[in-house]
Amino acid sequence: MTWAGEVLVVDVLDEDAGLADVEDTRGRTFQLPAEWLPEVRDGAAYRVSVTGRGVDFTPDPDGARLLRERSKQTLLDFSDAPDGREGA
């Protein structure tokens, strides 16, 4: 699994369990320890970078908007028609 360059957005923060449910730019969901994510809150977004010291999660103020836009485009590209043509 490669996360470098990914954007993660917190979907749900469970403060009692200390876990954050996050979604990445590929639509995958994960649970991460909330303490790994600076300024963690529902809807917060983070850029992931891998360094020699480990993995860094940097707050990204535009990350949630970018992920929403990507999700909208995916829905627009989706088609129920088996050959991709509408009304065939």
Comparing CA positions, the residue from 46, 47, 60, 15 lying closest to residue 33 is 15
Q: Give phi and psi for 44, each to the nearest 5.
A: -70, 145
| pLDDT of 87 | 54
pLDDT attached to residue 31: 94
pLDDT in tens, 10-58: 988 999 999 999 988 888 889 999 999 988 988 889 998 888 888 898 8
Tokens of 34: 């909330």
pLDDT at 80 over 80: no
Q: Which residue has the tokens 């993995």?
A: 55
Query: Does pTM top 0.75 for this prediction?
Result: no
Calpha distance 65→56 (Å, rounded)? 21
Angle at 76 between CA 85 and CA 6, to 5 degrees: 130
Tell me 80's DSSP state. Answer: S
